[in-house]
Structure 1
C-alpha cells in the first residue's frame, strides 16, 4: 500500500488544504448537520468564521457574529452557517466547536468551500 500524494502549492490557491476534513470530498447538508449535532452533544460552543479563499492559510479568519455560547438548537446553528455563506459569497465558511473544558478549539472544519475568482 502506498501513500497518496496530495499536491498542494502556494502558487495554486485552489490546491491548498485546510485541515483534515479538506482531504475528503465536500460534506453534504446531512454530514454537516451531524458535525453540528456532535458539537452540541458534547456541550461545546459553536462559532462560524469566514475568509476569502486566497487568505485561507491565514491564522485570522473573520468571525461571523459572536460565538453561540450555550446554543443547543442545531437548526439555529445551521441557519447561521447559511446566513454567513449568503452574506459572503465566494468565501470559505468554517464551523468551530469551542471546548469549554480545555478552553480551546475542539472542532474546526470548513463547511462551505468558496470558489476562487
Structure 2
C-alpha cells in the first residue's frame, strides 16, 4: 500500500476545494503565468478565459470571458485579457484554457487567479 497524501477537499469547506491542473500548488506568480501562456501558444492551441464565483467552482459551467481567442499568438494580448477579466471580476476564480484543434478538446485548463472563498 502506498502512502499517497489525501487532500481534504470537501464540498462543505469552500476553502479546501481544488479545481484542475495546478490547483494543489501555491498560486502562480506573473512569470509562471506567462510561461503557461507561452506553452499554450507554442503548441498552437487557442486560448480561452472563463470565470466563476468561488461557491460555484465545482460546476461544469463557468462564464466565458468574451470568445475564445482563435489563432491568437501574442502572449501579451492574452495576458492583457486575463487581467481585464480579473479587473471586471475581482472576486471570481479565473481559468485559462488551451483548445487543441487537432484533438478537438481542451489541451490545457488551469485556474490562473483564485477568488475569495466564502
For residue 40 of structure 1, report the CA deviation from its aligned partner: 0.3
Specify the SS of the correspondent of 1:20. coil
Specify the SS of the correspondent of 2:71. coil
Q: 1:89 & 1:111 partners in 2: Cα distance? A: 12
Compute the RMSD of aligned alpha carbons: 1.0
Show CA shifts across 1:5-42 (max 9, x none). Answer: 21111101111000131011111110010000000001
The corresponding residue for 1:85 is 86
Give the TM-score, by structure 1 length. Answer: 0.97
For residue 2 of structure 1, report the CA deviation from its aligned partner: 2.6
Give the gaps of 5 or more residues in structure 1: none
State the 4+ residue runs in structure 1 displaced beyond 4 angstroms: none
Contact 2:21 2:111 in 1 (8 A): no
The corresponding residue for 1:17 is 18
Show CA shifts across 1:21-65 (max 9, x none). Answer: 101111111001000000000100000000000000000000000
Contact 2:21 2:109 in 1 (8 A): no
Q: 1:38 & 1:71 partners in 2: Cα distance? A: 13
Give the gaps of 5 or more residues in structure 2: none
The corresponding residue for 1:28 is 29
The corresponding residue for 1:38 is 39
Aligned residues: 117
1:107 matched to 2:76: no
Specify the SS of the correspondent of 1:96. strand
Specify the SS of the correspondent of 1:82. helix
